[in-house]
Amino acid sequence: MIPRRLTGSKGKGMLDAVGALSLLALGFVGGGSFFAQERSFDLVIANGRVMDPESGLDAVRNVGIRDGKIITISTAPLNGRQTIEAKGLVVSPGFIDLHEHGQEPRNYQFQARDGVTTSLELEAGTNDVARWYAEREGKSLINFGVSIGHIPVRAQVVGHAKGDLVSSITRSTEAEAALHREATPDELSEMKALIETGLKQGALAEGMGINYTPGATRWEIIEMFRLAAKYYAPVHVHLRYAGLIEPETGLNAIEEVIAAAAATGAPLHVVHITSMGLRNTPQLIAMVEGARQRGLDVTTECYPYTAGSTGLHTAVFDPGWQARMGIDYKDVQWAETGERLTAETFEKYRKQGGIVVIHMIPEEAARIAVANPMVMIASDGMPITGAKVHPRGQGTFSRVLGHYVREEKALDLMTALKKMTLMPAQRLEKRAPVFNNKGRIRVGADADITIFDPDRVIDKATFDEPLQYSEGISFVVVNGIPVVKDGKLVEGVLPGRAMRAPISQ
Ligand SMILES: [Zn+2]
């Protein structure tokens, strides 16, 4: 459709450099070969099956990239200083992961090999947004971003804890006890000030994990939503309960946050809906769909696995956890060694503190959420603290494409790509306009592109061997720079940029 503009009614006489430039200014340039010959591209992705969930384009095209942007999408051949031959491969917008706790170089390498070009820590977040971005600026393989996190802010104010959220999930601290107690009015004021500072410093969202902060009252949650509403920041929330027995159920807990969103106007994003809903996941999805149909800005996400993962020392394992989650000691696995727990080792490791994998999500729940076109894909990847960490940080996106799309036929490829590219970008673009140019293969969009073999793509990370790269992700481009080539990481490139909301102080 785009080349027709250049070769059709306007005729060849219009196709001079001036015409091309004015069309470029209007965003209409599609790429007759005349244009390509005028100036070569930094990078050309040739002969790939371009799939763009926004426009619906699904056809063989050549993509021309210059200065980190997509300049043309063309049926005609293009000249580039570098060319990726993508015949037989899918050329997709790079995957955007809304939920990755491991925000370190090693995690970024695993994520790049899984097709991720933007990795965001929006659930737990940080208590120091400015410092968090400063630590990663110019040093990252892929794009990165963070939320201001209610858990670390509360740990700082109520528990006088130092450090950010990851430390509160990975290690036992005195903060843990404080997270179980109600905040005083002064502490609530201090928390609100810190949350607002983080939003002014460009946090992409407000992160909450109410299950980890059982001392937070209903009103404390409402107050946090009110601040998010003021900045149109989505609240990415791990619900208060993930249980099966009333009143401590996922259904009860999702009512709390949908009510908070309705009463305050804050956008709401419910994280990992399968590990909250367990066998009742379809009921939780129905609540999100119903809220959306009534005009609320509510979204959700899932990871494609039948186990969760968190800190054994956290409130998630407060007494009664077996009945709440419908599991027992044997279903809990110590990440450092992979051993299944007993009553004895549970007590020992809970005192020590550390990550466990929790086998608790029915396969049917995982499948229903992955297949639902409204539920986004996000990994919830964990910091790599031991040999047996959860595989989701390493294999989520390839697992959806290889296992659920190709093998199980649970959903079609374009729908799957939409759930991992366009939808996460749309979730964030009202708050952070940088996402207007992410998640799309479109002229003018950022050249974040994932190129994979739809017949081969598959996750290799398993619960037994989690530190394995995915297969079939052939090339990954971040801001126009290849970070994966011929299925291997490229050495010495750090093209990742900060994904941040406008800074207002
Ligand atoms: Zn969570």
The model's pLDDT over 235-254, given as tens digits with 9 standing for 90+, comes to 999 999 998 999 999 999 99
Task: Tell me how far the alpha carbon of residue 129 lies from the centroid of ligand 1, in angstroms.
Answer: 19
What pLDDT does residue 505 have? 65
Query: For residue 471, what are the contacts with CB-CB under 8 A and spacing of at least 6?
Result: 398, 456, 457, 458, 460, 487
Q: Tell how far the Cα of 44 is from the centroid of ligand 1, in angstroms.
A: 39
Question: 476 forms bridges with which residues in the sheet?
Answer: 450, 484
Give pLDDT, residue 161. 72
CA 498–ligand 1 middle distance (angstroms): 23
Tell me what the mean pLDDT of segment 382-388 comes to: 88
pLDDT in tens, 417-427: 999 999 999 99
**Which amino acid does the sequence have at 42?**
D
- 360 CA from centroid of ligand 1 (Å): 14
Give distance in angstroms: CA of 271 to centre of ligand 1: 7
What's the 171 CA to ligand 1 centre distance in angstroms? 16
User: 305: CA distance to ligand 1 center in Å?
Assistant: 14
Expressed in angstroms and rounded, the spacing between residue 71 Cα and the centre of ligand 1 is 38
C-alpha dihedral (401, 406, 408, 411), degrees to nearest 10: 60
pLDDT above 90 as % of the chain: 84
- Could you tell me the distance, in angstroms and rounded to a whole number, from the CA of residue 493 to the centre of ligand 1? 31
- Over 80: is that where the pLDDT of 53 sits? yes
pLDDT digits (tens, 9 = 90+) for 330-356: 999 999 899 999 999 999 999 888 899
Ligand 1 centroid, distance to 381 Cα (angstroms): 10
C-alpha 310 – ligand 1 centre gap (Å)? 8
How far is the centre of ligand 1, averaged over its atoms, from the C-alpha of 123 (Å)?
7
**Contact criterion met (CB below 8 Å) for 257 and 235:** yes
Environment class of 139 (CB within 10 Å of its CB; exposed 0-12, middle 13-18, buried 19+):
exposed
- Examine the pLDDT at 51 and tell me if it is beyond 70: yes
Question: What pLDDT does residue 16 have?
Answer: 38
Ligand 1 centroid – CA 276 distance (Å): 9
CA distance 194 to 154: 9
Residue 170 has a pLDDT of: 47
How far, in Å, is the centroid of ligand 1 from the Cα of 238?
A: 5
Query: For 11-49, how does the pLDDT look when each residue is reduced to its tens digit (9 = 90+)?
Result: 333 333 333 444 444 434 444 444 544 579 999 999 999
Q: Is residue 234 predicted with pLDDT exceeding 90? A: yes
The model carries a pTM of 0.91
Q: CB-based contacts of 397: which residues, under 8 Å, 6+ apart?
A: 95, 97, 114, 115, 116, 377, 379, 420, 470
Strand residues in 321-441 grouped as ranges (E): 332-334, 355-359, 375-377
Backbone angles phi, psi at 462, to 5 degrees: -120, 175
Whole-angstrom distance, CA of residue 456 vs CA of residue 53: 21
> If you average pLDDT over residues 111-140, what whole number do you get?
97
Q: What is the mean pLDDT of the chain?
A: 91
Q: How far is the CA of 133 from the CAs of 42, 45, 156, 198, in angstroms?
A: 28, 31, 19, 11
CA distance 183 to 191: 9
Question: Residue 3 Cα, ligand 1 centroid: separation in angstroms?
Answer: 46
Give distance in angstroms: CA of 356 to centre of ligand 1. Answer: 13
pLDDT at 329: 97
**Residue 399 to residue 466: CA distance in whole angstroms:** 13
- Between the CA of 40 and the centroid of ligand 1 the distance, in Å, is 46
Mean pLDDT for the stretch of residues 460-472: 96
Give distance in angstroms: CA of 168 to centre of ligand 1. 13
Ligand 1 center to 272 CA (angstroms):
7
Q: CA 93 to CA 256: how far, in whole Å?
A: 35
Q: What does the alpha-carbon distance between residue 44 and residue 417 come to, in Å, rounded to a whole number?
A: 22
pLDDT surpassing 60 at residue 169: no
Average pLDDT over residues 69-76: 98
Q: Residues, the chain, total?
A: 505
C-alpha 160 to ligand 1 mean position (Å): 22
Question: How many angstroms separate the CA atoms of 50 and 371, rounded?
Answer: 22
258 alpha carbon – ligand 1 mean position (Å): 17
